Amino acid sequence: MSDFSFIADRLERRPIGWLQPFDRNPRVHDPEQVARIAGSIAEFGFVVPILADGCGNVIAGHGRLLAARQLGLAEVPVVLVDHLSETQRRAYIIADNQLTLASRWDDELLAGLLHELNSRDFDLDLLGFSVAQLDDLMAPLTDEDEPAAGGDGTEDEVPDPPAEPVSRVGDLWLLGAHRLSLCRQHRPGGGCAADGGRVGGSVLHQPALWQPARLHHRRHRRLGSPDAGRVRNPADDAGGTGADQPGVDPSRR
């Protein structure tokens, strides 16, 4: 085993007023980033301690200290690092930030994890990315890159349409928290021609979660799910049999 001169083995809780940030810290923490760090601490807990010497001088964790103050915390976890010389302490303040910047993301693996978290309704804003960054990272694959559903490069077999379709033009489907209107075409200026302009075009409405618009189709439940149902069709109002369809909510007709 290598002979390290110091291995941190003690975690202490210290009053937040005991800690003193380095007044020449070259790393700038703007209010937006501090707010994101505070949100992370509120979600995950204060799981990364602040590093400080025996006099309370902060060596690493200036952003976390600012976030702790913003949250009104009285105490924070601290690892005491008292074996460094003054020169080493100042050098490590730079190295602790710069060494992390030397790493990079595997965009493919990162996108996969982001989609997984998104499918579980986790608030992606807590991860520290901007809206533009999340949009780019979670963009759907291009047609050339996207594999076939079977995974072997072959195209899916498209079944013949049923003799009596479950859905027809003018239907308004309830898909859990979503609404889907089926139209033959859109009228200029909005509205669905099949419904006399009373129902918006083929639009899927998403609840207020982190969802870039182009990803909405990945979250919609299939029509056969327990909470899906056709709720209205203008043709039914004229004497159709919409009430006989599975999942119809008569109060919505």
Q: With CA atoms as reference, report the closest residue to 63 among 39, 86, 29.
A: 29
pLDDT(182) > 80: no
Span 2-14, pLDDT tens digits: 456 677 778 899 9
Q: Which domains does the chain have, with CATH numbers?
A: 11-101 (3.90.1530.10), 107-137 (no CATH), 172-252 (no CATH)
pTM for the full predicted model:
0.54
CB 68 within 8 A of CB 14: no
Classify each residue of 82-102 as buried b or exposed e, where b means 16 or more C-beta atoms within 10 Å of its C-beta. Answer: eebeeeebeebbeeeeeeeee
Report the pLDDT value the prediction gives residue 141, as an integer from 0 to 100: 52
Q: Which long-range contacts (CB under 8 A, 24 or more apart) does 215-223 make?
A: 215/118, 215/138, 215/140, 218/115, 218/119, 218/140, 219/119, 220/175, 220/178, 220/180, 221/175, 221/176, 221/178, 223/166, 223/167, 223/173, 223/175
CB 70 within 8 A of CB 46: no
| Alpha-carbon torsion angle 33, 38, 39, 45, nearest 10 | 140
pLDDT: is 241 or 178 the higher one? 178
pLDDT(44) > 60: yes
Span 211-220, pLDDT tens digits: 443 443 333 3
Beta bridge partners of residue 58, listed in sequence order: 52
Cα–Cα distance for residue pair 168/7, rounded to 1 Å: 69
pLDDT(245) > 60: no
Please state the rounded mean pLDDT for residues 157-186.
73
pLDDT(109) > 70: yes
